[in-house]
Amino acid sequence: MPRLVGIDLGGTSIRAALATGPTTYAERVVRHRTPASAGPAAVISACAAAARDAAGGTPDGIAIGIPGPLDPESGVVFAAPHLPGFENLPAREMLSAAAGCPVAIHNDSNLAGFAEWAAGMGRGTRTFVFVIIGTGIGGAVIIDGTLLVGTAGTAAEVGHVPYNTDGPLCGQGHPGCLEGVASGTGIARSAAEALAAGEESQLRGITALDASAIAAAARAGDPLAHRVFANAARALGRSFGALVNILGPDAIAVGGGVGSQVDLLEAPIRAAMAEIAFDAPLRRCRLGQAELGSDAGLVGAVAWAVRTFDRD
């Protein structure tokens, strides 16, 4: 097969690997530091170097997952959190010139979701929804093998559906988004606000108050921590219920650091889905944890490279 490379670009690291099959890659994974502070040209150059290293020369094609909204058709990144200067950036054109081969770009959450559909929890589904919950909330929708991108390439932004018009701001500065309540950032903010209001909790005095610490406290029986997670789960569940009504998915997979806290999230998510979703499609929709973990982004990039450039 041609030498095709998948790249998972993050704010701190770049991972690149050579495809060995539709969803598999070589054992050797190239890792470079992301020179984010040096600007877009330096980041693109580092990605090209990683791709050449992974391919052992000039690749025949590259697919790259980039955080933030972008248009895969035009190859332009509208904005990328943690990557200064990635604003209306012709990333595909720049990487193609730097690497000397054709390039496909996509949102990193979309590629992670495509990986879960092709090789993870969504195998065999016709309509599949992937939701990744970490610092923010992203997602992907795959219908009959087609990754839903929308007219501007920004479809499936699950974290930015409205939950509460009076809710906190999301990462884009919009009030009331699901992300503002149920992301890792939102969970930590909710706990911090309750502590500032004087509520007693074993969380008081923790310097690194994040979703992991709050999850541990919830498991230890802390009422505040348990309530914060329950509120986040209910917000997620009602949003998932709406997705069931709109899309009628075979399965919804939840991934990411916060999404891995299934013992705290699953039951209240299921209960809240039932508040919104019609009974028949809800009974036919599986809900579960994503299977590929932190590997999903790289698997998705490799799979997209093969899908895009391997005509055989």
pLDDT tens digits in sequence order for the chain, 312 residues long: 899 999 999 999 999 999 999 999 999 999 999 999 999 999 999 999 999 999 999 999 999 999 989 999 999 999 988 899 999 999 999 999 999 999 999 999 999 999 999 999 999 999 999 999 998 999 999 999 999 998 888 888 898 888 877 777 777 777 778 999 999 999 999 999 999 999 999 999 898 899 999 999 999 999 999 999 999 999 999 999 999 999 999 999 999 999 999 889 999 999 999 999 999 999 999 999 999 999 999 999 999 999 999 977
Distance of CA 300 to the CA centre of its chain: 11
Is the entire prediction scored with pTM above 0.85?
yes
**At residue 267, what are phi and psi to the nearest 5 degrees?**
-60, -50
Cβ atoms of 278 and 155 within 8 Å: the answer is: no
pLDDT recorded at residue 168: 77
- Residues 73-87: b if buried by 16+ CB within 10 A, e if exposed: eebbbeebeebeebe
Cβ atoms of 122 and 110 within 8 Å: the answer is: no
Tell me the pairing of strands 127-133 and 137-143. antiparallel
pLDDT recorded at residue 174: 74
**Residues in Cβ contact with 54 at an 8 Å cutoff, skipping those fewer than 6 apart:** 5, 16, 17, 18, 26, 28, 29, 30
